[in-house]
Amino acid sequence: MTNKKYKDRLIIVLFLLPALALFISLIVYPVFNTIVLSFQSWKGIYGAPKTFVGIENYIRVFQSENFWNALLNSFYFMLGGFGVLLPLSFGLALLITSKLKGRKFMKTSYFMPVMLSTTAVALMWVYILNPSFGLLNELLRAVGLDVLAKDWLSTPTLNVWSVIMVNTWMYAGYNMLIFTAGLVTIPQELYEAGELDGCTGWKKIRYIAIPLSRESFKVFSVLCVTGCLKAFDLIWAMTKGGPNNSSEMPATLLYNEAFTFKNFGKSSSIGVILLFLGITLSLILNKTFDQKED
């Protein structure tokens, strides 16, 4: 190897080293540690022995009704993400990239919930959704819709969907920006050319905006799927996975297994399963979008 090539390679390595060190110490090492712990039994006290138990933790996870319920709740989150959040965010993005007056005001107001802390949002909505004195039920009763005034956070399944709607309210603005980034890159000439061919109104969105926003949809999909799998903060702040595990998510289950039931090995196995699911689903999504592009 010539001196220059060696020097170049050395510079490359030196520049990569800090990022690599961070990557290894903050991602690779914890993941490796979690995988190792998933095959052990540990009560979570520093210095306490860790006993090798093989795949026993995984068997217990797959046999656990709570785990499958948590995955189902995660699936509901994905349904809410693709069924409600995606069209809403895309719609908002279309709105703020249009020629409507007040676009800047709209952009700021739609993004504002994202800037609030999750705990503050959760606390606010816990009170709004209180069945006795919450604003939502009071409004429903005021307009004679008493039958719709539910116990939003204590009724199984309904409580998950209530959190999904709060999540949608909170993150619509954030995802709006993802779609906006894609929409603004579409050349105006394409819309003009489309108009000449009779592509007007909704057809512009269907035949121009959506296909050319493929990358944004891809980014949204991957973020949505992985986000739904690891959803924790909002559900924890609003319901703590209860009552009685009814709104448990895989991440809250992981947390409870570790810190409530002191099964750090089983908790780690849930983490590994989530990691595997997240990577698999991300790869499938990437492949799906790439195939469509072809």
**Residues at the interface with other proteins (CB under 8 A):** 11, 14-15, 18-19, 21-22, 25-26, 43-48, 56, 60, 63-65, 130-132, 151, 153-154, 156, 240, 242-246, 258-264
Whichever of 34 and 154 has its CB closer to other proteins, that residue is 154
Phi, psi (degrees; rounded to nearest 5) at 198: 90, 15
Q: 41 or 282, CB closer to other proteins?
A: 41
CA-wise closest residue to 113 among 168, 161, 68: 168
- Name the residue nearer to other proteins (CB basis): 87 or 156: 156
In this structure, what token pair is assigned to residue 69? 């319920």
Shortest Cβ distance from residue 214 to other proteins (Å)? 32
Nearer to other proteins, 194 or 243 (CB): 243
Kindly state the smallest distance separating residue 51's Cβ from other proteins, in Å. Answer: 12
In 210-221, which positions are buried (b, 16+ CB within 10 angstroms) versus exposed (e)? eeebeebbbbbb
Yes or no: say if 213 and 31 are a contact pair by the CB < 8 Å rule: no
**Least Cβ distance, residue 185 to other proteins (angstroms):** 27
User: Please, what is the angle between helix 158-183 and helix 86-96, to 10°?
Assistant: 40
Q: Which is nearer to other proteins, 46 or 202 (CB)?
A: 46
Crossing angle (nearest 10°) for helices 56-63 and 264-293: 70
Which residues neighbour 281 within 8 Å (Cβ) at sequence distance 6 or greater? 225, 226, 229
Shortest Cβ 162–other proteins spacing (Å): 12
Q: How far is the CB of 45 from other proteins (least distance, A)?
A: 4
Q: How far is CA 75 from CA 249, 252, 274, in A?
A: 10, 15, 13
What single letter denotes the amino acid at residue 192? E
- Residue for token digits 């999909």? 221
Q: How far is the CB of 139 from other proteins (least distance, A)?
A: 17
Instruction: Provide the minimum distance between the beta carbon of 234 and other proteins in the complex, in angstroms, as a whole number.
Output: 17
Q: 113: number of CA atoms within 13 Å, CB side?
A: 18
β-sheet bridge partners, residue 40: 52
Q: Which residue number, 44 or 113, has a Cβ lying nearer to other proteins?
A: 44
- Overall size of the chain counted in residues: 294
Closer residue to other proteins in complex, CB, 44/278? 44
Q: Which residue bears the tokens 């703020």?
A: 96
